[in-house]
């Protein structure tokens, strides 16, 4: 049987897969089972920070694998400790909890916020404000945090205690704070799955002020926006605020599973032994990969990301078949006249991999994509738009 036949027969049908099998990747290029090559502007949904089969990542991971793969969190291990220090040094966070995915990073943040509120205000202060059109994960609790009904259908009841404000409408959040006993506000700085919609600066500053005034835990979900994707190491850095918790995953280890929940001053001592855990969390190989990724995200790379993002926006804004272009850095959404799914299919036929975000075409190229291949890909996208 072919891979496609095996997959269709044996893998749970949670994904509507595109009709190609990826067999190899190198930098921003991937190759399918027929040998056809594609410029990959999807990066495994914002995961392959430095593209495919990145040599430095391979070296970091294999060197660690040759020492040991896994020990459990009963013992100390250097990659976990060193990645935590690196993240703290680069962000001002004080402590990090490692897990395996974005949803888990958010679960950890939600538990921490409830624990903080229970201790400081009382157990009935458990409500968490998130935003409509947000996406925070697929577990029952992170689905509850996700402010989109389509993801909730037939999975009810979800975890209690989530209410939804409206993005860029600060009064909607103030009303929720006034009418509920709240623990936290949780938001994505750019709503990724919601159509690559950046929040406005005023709104984010407003959220930060409301959190301070009411002693709420301010949680930035940087699962998709983090690790250089938007042209800053973390997207909150564009907004002049410091969250109390930042969650991330996806691009942190460039392709190996990891989640991280970063605790800043107010939240650094919430957890104590026994309150939270994860068998694979802090896995030495994933953390070694994370060190390789984070230590290479420097000012030069970040300014390249910003420049490439501007290049994409300038190339496509006002172009035939484009209604609007949104996003930050190399996280771009294109509102198209044609159905986005048709544009994605045409791009694929023409040798470029892009994905959708709601009704938009979404671009998430590797941060180090060559300008030459980026230009080539944009020309193919243009051809596929009309
Ligand atoms: N939060 C955000 C903002 C995301 O974009 C995603 C995934 O797309 C998640 C959380 C969930 O991450 P994971 O699929 O790693 O659990």
Binding pocket residue ranges, ligand 1, CB within 6 Å: 101-103, 106, 135-137, 188, 192-193, 221, 223-224, 249
Tell me how far the alpha carbon of residue 280 lies from the centroid of ligand 1, in angstroms: 18
- Residue 346: per-residue pLDDT: 98
- Residue 192: per-residue pLDDT: 98
Tell me how far the alpha carbon of residue 2 lies from the centroid of ligand 1, in angstroms: 30
- Residue 273: per-residue pLDDT: 96
- Residue 154: per-residue pLDDT: 94
Contact 299, 277 (CB under 8 A): no
pLDDT digits (tens, 9 = 90+) for 175-188: 999 999 999 999 99
| Over residues 289-303, mean pLDDT | 98
Best residue for ligand 1 mutational test, from 106, 135, 234 (most atoms within 8 Å of Cβ): 135
> Residue 244 pairs with which residues in a beta bridge?
none
> Residue 362 pairs with which residues in a beta bridge?
333, 355
Ligand 1 closest atom vs CA 104? 16
- For ligand 1, atom 12, the nearest C-alpha belongs to 102
Residue with tokens 């930098």: 27
Ligand 1 closest atom vs CA 134? 3
- Rounded distance between C-alpha atoms, residue 12 and residue 15, angstroms: 8
* Sign, Cα dihedral of 208, 212, 213, 215: positive
pLDDT digits (tens, 9 = 90+) for 13-71: 999 999 999 999 999 999 999 999 999 999 999 999 999 999 999 999 999 999 999 99
Beta-sheet pairing, 352-353 with 37-40? parallel
| Over residues 258-264, mean pLDDT | 99
Best residue for ligand 1 mutational test, from 106, 110, 198, 250 (most atoms within 8 Å of Cβ): 250
Report the mean per-residue pLDDT for the chain: 98
Tell me how far the alpha carbon of residue 190 lies from the centroid of ligand 1, in angstroms: 12
- Residue 316: per-residue pLDDT: 98
> Residue 40 pairs with which residues in a beta bridge?
353
Q: pLDDT category, 174, cuts 50, 70, 90?
A: very high
Contacts of 102 (CB under 8 A, 6+ apart): 136, 137, 221, 223, 224, 247, 248, 249, 250, 259
Contact 28, 365 (CB under 8 A): yes
- For ligand 1, atom 5, the nearest C-alpha belongs to 224
103: nearest Cα among 224, 265, 15, 207: 224
- 107-112-118 Cα angle (round to 5): 125
| Over residues 259-268, mean pLDDT | 98
- Residue 95: per-residue pLDDT: 98
Element (H, E) at 143: helix 140-145
Q: pLDDT category, 325, cuts 50, 70, 90?
A: very high
pLDDT above 70 coverage of the chain, percent: 100
| Over residues 277-285, mean pLDDT | 98
Can you tell me whether residue 104 is helix, strand or coil?
Answer: helix
Tell me how far the alpha carbon of residue 187 lies from the centroid of ligand 1, in angstroms: 12
Ligand 1 closest atom vs CA 250? 15
Distances in Å between the alpha carbon of 383 and those of 32, 124, 241, 320, 378?
A: 22, 56, 40, 10, 9
- Rounded distance between C-alpha atoms, residue 214 and residue 198, angstroms: 25
DSSP letter string over 317-338? TT-TTEEEEEEETTEEEEEESS
Element (H, E) at 87: helix 78-91
Ligand 1 closest atom vs CA 193? 5
- Residue 135: per-residue pLDDT: 98
């Amino acid at each position: 049987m072919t891979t496609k036949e095996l997959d269709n027969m044996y893998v749970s049908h949670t994904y509507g897969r595109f009709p190609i099998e990826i067999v190899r990747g190198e930098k921003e290029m991937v190759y399918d089972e027929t040998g056809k090559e594609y410029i990959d502007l999807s990066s495994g949904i914002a995961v392959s920070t430095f593209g495919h089969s990145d040599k430095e990542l391979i070296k970091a991971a294999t060197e660690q694998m040759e020492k040991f793969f896994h020990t459990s969190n009963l013992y100390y291990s250097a990659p976990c400790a060193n990645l935590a220090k690196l993240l703290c040094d680069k962000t001002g966070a004080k402590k990090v909890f490692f897990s395996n995915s974005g949803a888990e990073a958010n679960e950890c943040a939600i538990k921490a916020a409830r624990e903080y509120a229970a201790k400081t205000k009382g157990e009935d202060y458990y409500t968490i404000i998130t935003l409509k059109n947000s996406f925070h994960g697929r577990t029952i609790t992170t689905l509850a945090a996700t402010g989109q009904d389509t993801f909730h259908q037939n999975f009810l009841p979800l975890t209690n205690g989530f209410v939804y404000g409206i993005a860029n409408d600060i009064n909607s959040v103030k009303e929720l704070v006034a009418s509920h006993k709240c623990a936290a506000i949780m938001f994505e700085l750019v709503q990724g799955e919601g159509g690559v919609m950046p929040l406005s600066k005023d709104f984010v500053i407003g959220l930060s002020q409301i959190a301070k005034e009411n002693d709420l835990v301010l949680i930035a979900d940087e699962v998709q926006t983090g690790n250089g994707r938007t042209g800053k190491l973390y997207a909150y850095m564009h907004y002049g605020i410091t969250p109390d918790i930042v969650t991330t995953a996806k691009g942190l280890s460039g392709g190996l599973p990891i989640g991280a929940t970063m605790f800043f001053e107010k939240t650094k001592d919430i957890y104590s032994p026994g309150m939270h855990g994860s068998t694979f969390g802090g896995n030495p190989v994933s953390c070694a990969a994370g060190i390789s990724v984070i230590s290479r995200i420097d000012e030069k790379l970040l300014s390249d990301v910003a420049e490439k993002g501007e290049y994409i926006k300038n190339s496509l804004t006002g172009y035939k078949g484009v209604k609007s272009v949104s996003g930050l850095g190399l996280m771009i959404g294109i509102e198209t006249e044609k159905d986005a799914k048709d544009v994605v299919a045409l791009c694929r036929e023409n040798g470029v991999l892009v994905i959708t975000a709601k009704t938009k075409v979404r671009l998430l190229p590797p941060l180090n994509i060559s300008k030459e291949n980026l230009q080539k890909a944009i020309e193919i996208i243009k051809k596929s738009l009309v």
